[in-house]
Protein backbone atom coordinates (compact mmCIF):
# COMPACT_ATOMS: atom_id res chain seq x y z
CA UNK A 1 0.00 0.00 0.00
CA UNK A 2 1.36 3.40 -0.99
CA UNK A 3 1.85 6.25 1.50
CA UNK A 4 -0.99 8.18 -0.17
CA UNK A 5 -3.39 5.23 0.22
CA UNK A 6 -2.37 4.79 3.86
CA UNK A 7 -3.04 8.48 4.53
CA UNK A 8 -6.53 8.19 3.00
CA UNK A 9 -7.25 5.07 5.04
CA UNK A 10 -6.07 6.74 8.26
CA UNK A 11 -8.18 9.84 7.50
CA UNK A 12 -11.32 7.75 6.90
CA UNK A 13 -10.68 5.87 10.12
CA UNK A 14 -10.31 9.19 11.92
CA UNK A 15 -13.58 10.41 10.33
CA UNK A 16 -15.47 7.34 11.56
CA UNK A 17 -13.98 7.70 15.04
CA UNK A 18 -14.95 11.38 15.41
CA UNK A 19 -18.44 10.90 13.98
CA UNK A 20 -19.12 7.80 16.11
CA UNK A 21 -17.86 9.52 19.26
CA UNK A 22 -20.09 12.55 18.68
CA UNK A 23 -23.17 10.39 17.98
CA UNK A 24 -22.53 8.23 21.04
CA UNK A 25 -22.25 11.28 23.28
CA UNK A 26 -25.47 12.70 21.83
CA UNK A 27 -27.26 9.38 22.24
CA UNK A 28 -26.11 9.11 25.86
CA UNK A 29 -27.38 12.61 26.58
CA UNK A 30 -30.74 11.84 24.91
CA UNK A 31 -31.21 8.64 26.89
CA UNK A 32 -30.41 10.49 30.10
CA UNK A 33 -33.01 13.18 29.36
CA UNK A 34 -35.50 10.52 28.25
CA UNK A 35 -35.20 8.65 31.55
CA UNK A 36 -35.81 11.82 33.53
CA UNK A 37 -39.30 11.94 32.07
CA UNK A 38 -39.45 15.73 32.05
CA UNK A 39 -40.43 16.00 28.39
CA UNK A 40 -43.94 15.83 26.95
CA UNK A 41 -42.79 13.67 24.01
CA UNK A 42 -39.49 11.97 24.95
CA UNK A 43 -39.34 9.76 21.86
CA UNK A 44 -39.72 12.70 19.51
CA UNK A 45 -37.01 14.53 21.40
CA UNK A 46 -34.71 11.51 21.12
CA UNK A 47 -35.11 11.29 17.33
CA UNK A 48 -34.75 15.03 16.84
CA UNK A 49 -31.65 15.17 19.00
CA UNK A 50 -30.00 12.36 17.08
CA UNK A 51 -30.73 14.06 13.74
CA UNK A 52 -29.27 17.33 14.97
CA UNK A 53 -26.24 15.49 16.36
CA UNK A 54 -25.66 13.76 13.00
CA UNK A 55 -25.89 17.08 11.17
CA UNK A 56 -23.22 18.48 13.48
CA UNK A 57 -21.03 15.37 13.84
CA UNK A 58 -20.64 14.53 10.14
CA UNK A 59 -19.37 17.97 9.01
CA UNK A 60 -17.14 18.16 12.09
CA UNK A 61 -15.70 14.72 11.39
CA UNK A 62 -15.20 15.66 7.73
CA UNK A 63 -13.25 18.80 8.62
CA UNK A 64 -11.23 16.93 11.24
CA UNK A 65 -10.34 14.08 8.87
CA UNK A 66 -9.31 16.54 6.12
CA UNK A 67 -7.09 18.32 8.61
CA UNK A 68 -5.57 14.98 9.65
CA UNK A 69 -4.93 14.07 6.00
CA UNK A 70 -3.24 17.40 5.25
CA UNK A 71 -1.17 17.13 8.43
CA UNK A 72 0.11 13.69 7.44
CA UNK A 73 0.99 14.91 3.94
CA UNK A 74 2.85 17.85 5.42
CA UNK A 75 4.75 15.56 7.78
CA UNK A 76 5.72 13.29 4.90
CA UNK A 77 6.95 16.28 2.91
CA UNK A 78 9.11 17.38 5.84
CA UNK A 79 10.48 13.83 6.20
CA UNK A 80 11.22 13.74 2.49
CA UNK A 81 13.03 17.07 2.60
CA UNK A 82 15.08 15.86 5.55
CA UNK A 83 16.12 12.61 3.85
CA UNK A 84 16.50 13.38 0.14
CA UNK A 85 18.60 15.54 -2.11
CA UNK A 86 16.32 18.23 -3.61
CA UNK A 87 17.88 18.09 -7.10
CA UNK A 88 18.08 14.35 -7.78
CA UNK A 89 15.58 12.96 -5.27
CA UNK A 90 18.21 10.51 -4.02
CA UNK A 91 19.09 9.94 -0.38
CA UNK A 92 21.17 12.73 1.07
CA UNK A 93 24.41 12.10 2.95
CA UNK A 94 22.78 12.01 6.37
CA UNK A 95 20.05 9.56 5.44
CA UNK A 96 22.41 7.36 3.42
CA UNK A 97 24.55 6.95 6.51
CA UNK A 98 21.49 5.70 8.39
CA UNK A 99 20.81 3.20 5.58
CA UNK A 100 24.39 1.93 5.73
CA UNK A 101 24.26 1.53 9.50
CA UNK A 102 20.99 -0.39 9.16
CA UNK A 103 22.71 -2.68 6.65
CA UNK A 104 25.52 -3.33 9.12
CA UNK A 105 22.97 -4.22 11.81
CA UNK A 106 21.30 -6.63 9.37
CA UNK A 107 24.69 -8.21 8.68
CA UNK A 108 25.26 -8.78 12.39
CA UNK A 109 21.96 -10.67 12.58
CA UNK A 110 22.08 -12.59 9.32
CA UNK A 111 25.68 -12.45 8.09
CA UNK A 112 26.86 -11.50 4.64
CA UNK A 113 28.79 -8.57 3.21
CA UNK A 114 28.08 -5.38 1.31
CA UNK A 115 30.07 -2.89 -0.72
CA UNK A 116 30.19 0.87 -0.40
CA UNK A 117 30.89 2.65 -3.69
CA UNK A 118 31.80 6.26 -4.38
CA UNK A 119 31.70 7.48 -7.94
CA UNK A 120 32.46 10.92 -9.27
CA UNK A 121 31.75 12.46 -12.68
CA UNK A 122 34.95 13.16 -14.55
CA UNK A 123 35.70 16.80 -15.41
CA UNK A 124 32.19 17.85 -14.54
CA UNK A 125 33.31 21.47 -14.13
CA UNK A 126 33.83 21.65 -17.89
CA UNK A 127 30.15 20.84 -18.41
CA UNK A 128 29.10 23.74 -16.18
CA UNK A 129 31.62 26.09 -17.76
CA UNK A 130 30.66 25.22 -21.33
CA UNK A 131 26.91 24.61 -21.15
CA UNK A 132 25.88 26.34 -17.92
CA UNK A 133 24.72 25.15 -14.52
CA UNK A 134 21.25 24.24 -15.76
CA UNK A 135 22.83 21.76 -18.14
CA UNK A 136 24.93 20.45 -15.26
CA UNK A 137 21.84 19.98 -13.11
CA UNK A 138 20.05 18.18 -15.96
CA UNK A 139 23.05 15.88 -16.34
CA UNK A 140 23.12 15.10 -12.61
CA UNK A 141 19.43 14.17 -12.70
CA UNK A 142 19.99 11.89 -15.66
CA UNK A 143 23.00 10.23 -14.01
CA UNK A 144 20.88 9.60 -10.91
CA UNK A 145 18.15 7.98 -13.04
CA UNK A 146 20.64 5.74 -14.85
CA UNK A 147 22.42 4.67 -11.66
CA UNK A 148 19.11 3.90 -9.96
CA UNK A 149 17.98 1.76 -12.92
CA UNK A 150 21.17 -0.32 -12.70
CA UNK A 151 20.65 -1.22 -9.03
CA UNK A 152 18.46 -3.86 -7.44
CA UNK A 153 15.40 -1.95 -6.33
CA UNK A 154 14.98 -1.81 -2.56
CA UNK A 155 18.06 -3.91 -1.79
CA UNK A 156 20.71 -1.44 -2.95
CA UNK A 157 20.83 2.19 -1.86
CA UNK A 158 21.84 5.22 -3.89
CA UNK A 159 22.61 8.69 -2.59
CA UNK A 160 24.15 11.97 -3.62
CA UNK A 161 27.27 12.44 -1.54
CA UNK A 162 27.80 16.02 -2.64
CA UNK A 163 28.38 18.02 -5.82
CA UNK A 164 28.94 15.57 -8.67
CA UNK A 165 29.78 12.69 -6.33
CA UNK A 166 27.40 9.81 -5.68
CA UNK A 167 27.43 6.95 -3.19
CA UNK A 168 26.06 3.43 -3.57
CA UNK A 169 25.43 0.65 -1.06
CA UNK A 170 25.44 -2.78 -2.72
CA UNK A 171 23.84 -5.29 -0.39
CA UNK A 172 24.83 -8.97 -0.20
CA UNK A 173 27.70 -8.89 -2.69
CA UNK A 174 31.30 -10.04 -2.61
CA UNK A 175 34.30 -8.13 -3.94
CA UNK A 176 34.07 -9.48 -7.51
CA UNK A 177 30.31 -8.99 -7.76
CA UNK A 178 30.69 -5.39 -6.58
CA UNK A 179 33.34 -4.76 -9.23
CA UNK A 180 31.05 -6.11 -11.95
CA UNK A 181 28.21 -3.82 -10.86
CA UNK A 182 30.51 -0.79 -10.79
CA UNK A 183 31.99 -1.57 -14.19
CA UNK A 184 28.57 -2.13 -15.72
CA UNK A 185 27.42 1.24 -14.40
CA UNK A 186 30.66 2.89 -15.55
CA UNK A 187 30.14 1.56 -19.06
CA UNK A 188 26.51 2.61 -19.10
CA UNK A 189 27.43 6.17 -18.12
CA UNK A 190 30.20 6.29 -20.69
CA UNK A 191 27.73 5.46 -23.46
CA UNK A 192 25.04 7.91 -22.34
CA UNK A 193 24.33 11.29 -23.89
CA UNK A 194 21.77 13.85 -22.83
CA UNK A 195 20.44 16.61 -25.01
CA UNK A 196 20.16 20.10 -23.56
CA UNK A 197 19.14 23.09 -25.67
CA UNK A 198 20.14 21.26 -28.82
CA UNK A 199 23.55 20.27 -27.44
CA UNK A 200 24.55 16.66 -26.76
CA UNK A 201 26.42 16.22 -23.49
CA UNK A 202 28.30 13.12 -22.39
CA UNK A 203 30.42 12.34 -19.37
CA UNK A 204 32.39 9.52 -17.80
CA UNK A 205 32.72 8.52 -14.15
CA UNK A 206 35.45 7.14 -11.89
CA UNK A 207 34.69 4.60 -9.17
CA UNK A 208 36.21 3.52 -5.88
CA UNK A 209 34.75 0.95 -3.52
CA UNK A 210 35.41 -0.85 -0.27
CA UNK A 211 33.69 -3.80 1.39
CA UNK A 212 31.35 -3.01 4.28
CA UNK A 213 31.43 -5.64 7.03
CA UNK A 214 29.41 -5.87 10.28
CA UNK A 215 32.34 -4.85 12.47
CA UNK A 216 33.62 -2.07 10.21
CA UNK A 217 33.67 1.64 10.94
CA UNK A 218 31.45 3.42 8.43
CA UNK A 219 33.71 6.48 8.34
CA UNK A 220 36.77 4.30 7.74
CA UNK A 221 35.05 2.46 4.90
CA UNK A 222 34.08 5.78 3.28
CA UNK A 223 37.66 6.99 3.65
CA UNK A 224 38.98 3.83 1.96
CA UNK A 225 36.48 4.08 -0.89
CA UNK A 226 37.43 7.74 -1.33
CA UNK A 227 41.12 6.81 -1.60
CA UNK A 228 40.25 4.21 -4.23
CA UNK A 229 38.26 6.84 -6.11
CA UNK A 230 41.26 9.15 -6.01
CA UNK A 231 43.39 6.40 -7.54
CA UNK A 232 40.85 5.99 -10.36
CA UNK A 233 40.94 9.73 -10.96
CA UNK A 234 44.73 10.02 -10.90
CA UNK A 235 45.40 7.03 -13.16
CA UNK A 236 43.31 8.04 -16.14
CA UNK A 237 39.67 8.34 -14.97
CA UNK A 238 36.71 6.28 -16.21
CA UNK A 239 37.76 3.21 -14.28
CA UNK A 240 36.99 1.17 -11.13
CA UNK A 241 39.40 0.73 -8.22
CA UNK A 242 38.98 -1.56 -5.24
CA UNK A 243 40.28 -0.26 -1.89
CA UNK A 244 41.80 -3.55 -0.80
CA UNK A 245 44.86 -4.28 1.38
CA UNK A 246 47.20 -3.74 -1.58
CA UNK A 247 45.90 -0.22 -2.16
CA UNK A 248 46.09 0.55 1.58
CA UNK A 249 49.71 -0.60 1.66
CA UNK A 250 50.54 1.52 -1.37
CA UNK A 251 48.89 4.58 0.17
Output the pLDDT for position 117: 98
Mean pLDDT of 240-247: 80
pLDDT band at 251 (very low <50, low <70, confident <90, very high): very low
Judge whether 182 and 240 are in contact, CB under 8 Å. yes
| Strand pairing category for 114-121 and 205-212 | antiparallel
Burial of 247 (0-12, 13-18, 19+ CB in 10 A): middle
Output the pLDDT for position 83: 74
**DSSP three-state, residue 115:** strand
CA 30 to chain centre: 51
pLDDT band at 40 (very low <50, low <70, confident <90, very high): low
Give the pTM: 0.68
Cα–Cα dist 169/154, whole Å: 11
Lowest mean pLDDT among 69-78, 143-152, 154-163, 217-226: 69-78
Which one of 164, 193, 195, 199 is the catalytic residue?
164
Q: Which of 9-13, 56-60, 68-72 has the highest mean pLDDT?
A: 9-13
pLDDT at 81 over 50: no
Judge whether 107 and 173 are in contact, CB under 8 Å. no
40 is catalytic: no
Judge whether 56 and 90 are in contact, CB under 8 Å. no
- ∠ CA 15-18-19, rounded to 5°: 80
| Strand pairing category for 193-196 and 114-121 | unpaired
Amino acid sequence: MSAYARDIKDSLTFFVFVATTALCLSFTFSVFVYRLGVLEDPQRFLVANLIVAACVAIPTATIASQHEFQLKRYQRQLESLASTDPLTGLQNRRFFRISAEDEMKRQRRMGGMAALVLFDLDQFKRVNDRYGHQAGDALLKRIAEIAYSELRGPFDKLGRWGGEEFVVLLSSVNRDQAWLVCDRLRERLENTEIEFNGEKISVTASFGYEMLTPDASFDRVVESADKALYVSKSTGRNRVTYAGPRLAATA
